Amino acid sequence: MKSVHFNEIVKAVKTMCIKANYYLPEDIYQALSEARVQEISPVGKDILKDICVNADIAKSEDIPICQDTGTAVFFIKLGQDIHIEGGLLDEAINEGVRQGYVEGYLRKSIVENPLYRKNTGDNTPAIVHYEIVGGDELEILIAPKGGGSENMSKVYMLTPSQGVDGVKKAVIEAVTLAGPNACLPVVVGIGLGGNFEKCTLLAKQALTRDIGSSHPDSRMAELERELLQEINDLGIGPQGLGGKITALAVHIEDYPCHIASMPLAINIGCHVNRHKTIRL
């Protein structure tokens, strides 16, 4: 059985927190660069240029891409043949977040109680989702999520009879209501199926897919393409100031559901849509 030490996980998570907030993912940067060419609005082109320049400055000067360095969200794939030694995995992740956000001079945005709002001072606790998988590998994916785009999320408990048209209507409604508040252009993560809590998790996971990837089911891939076109036809544009590029991508993740239900969640990622993965 393979062993991974507590301190190794802490060090890895600390580094991930910093790098995810300093360096824009390559797929996002490429999509933004292509969007500059596709955008027809002069103002929109300038905005997309400024976004890319901002990412270049953050990378060259080792500073955050955005002042909102987000909630530290993790997706963990834990191989069943791995032994974590020296402490608990959950504690190692939170210690890594604590060190990363303090030493990386990242904004601490977490309050310990939703009503009384005292800041925890180190951006902990993280939000961690675990999946037990085969093998002896530990995969850690971090997806720092800013408050502005997260606040634009929606859950719809649709009925099966609403079908594809109902899904499209709800997604377009959510993006329209979000308007400029999610820091456009966005990535739209959609979770379809499961139940109330599962669809929201799927929507968040959908945001971690690489731009340009398609759903493996050709029918769902076509729905992704149709929704992206319809969203960009809204004319909201970069930063909500009009234009062709409102979204960079639409990603759908689906799961079986009850015969009486069709849960749908929309989680909108801002133009930085940060994520980074390591394997130990």
Residue 53 in any domain: the answer is no
DSSP state letters, 68-113: ---B-EEEEEEETTEEEESS-HHHHHHHHHHHHHHHTT-----BSS
Residue 265 in any domain: the answer is yes
Give yes or no: residues 10 and 117 share one domain: yes
Distance, CA of 180 to CA of 176 (rounded, Å)? 9
Mean pLDDT for 9-21 is: 98
DSSP 126: P
**Type and span of the H or E element at 2:** strand 2-5
Reported confidence tier of residue 197, pLDDT bands at 50, 70, 90: very high
Model confidence pLDDT, tens digit, residues 89-104: 999 999 999 999 999 9
Residue 260 has pLDDT above 90, yes or no: yes
Q: Dihedrals φ, ψ of 109, to 5°?
A: -115, 5
Mean pLDDT for 50-65 is: 97
Residue 228 has pLDDT above 90, yes or no: yes
Give yes or no: residues 151 and 248 share one domain: yes
CATH of the domain at 175: 3.30.1330
Task: Determine contact, residues 69/122, Cβ cutoff 8 Å.
Answer: no
Distance, CA of 96 to CA of 234 (rounded, Å)? 41
Mean pLDDT for 100-123 is: 97
Residue 217 has pLDDT above 90, yes or no: yes
pLDDT at 1: 85
Is 0.85 surpassed by the pTM of this model?
yes
Residue 108 has pLDDT above 90, yes or no: yes
Residue 262, SS3?
strand
Domain boundary (144, 178, 205) is at 144
Residue 258 has pLDDT above 90, yes or no: yes
Count other Cβ atoms within 10 Å, centred on residue 38.
13
Mean pLDDT for 62-68 is: 96
Model confidence pLDDT, tens digit, residues 163-186: 999 999 999 999 999 999 999 999
Reported confidence tier of residue 146, pLDDT bands at 50, 70, 90: very high
pLDDT at 66: 96
Give yes or no: residues 74 and 204 share one domain: no
What ranges make up the beta strands (E) of 110-175? 127-133, 138-142, 154-158
- Residue 20, CA distances (Å) to 49, 114, 131 in order: 21, 26, 22
pLDDT at 229: 98
Residue 81 has pLDDT above 90, yes or no: yes
Owning domain of residue 108: 2-20+65-144
Residue 16 has pLDDT above 90, yes or no: yes
Residue with tokens 């544009």: 237
Give yes or no: residues 108 and 7 share one domain: yes
Spell 212-249 as b/e; 16+ CB within 10 A means b: eeebeeeebeebbeebbebbbeeebbbbbeebbbbbbb
Distance, CA of 15 to CA of 18 (rounded, Å)? 5
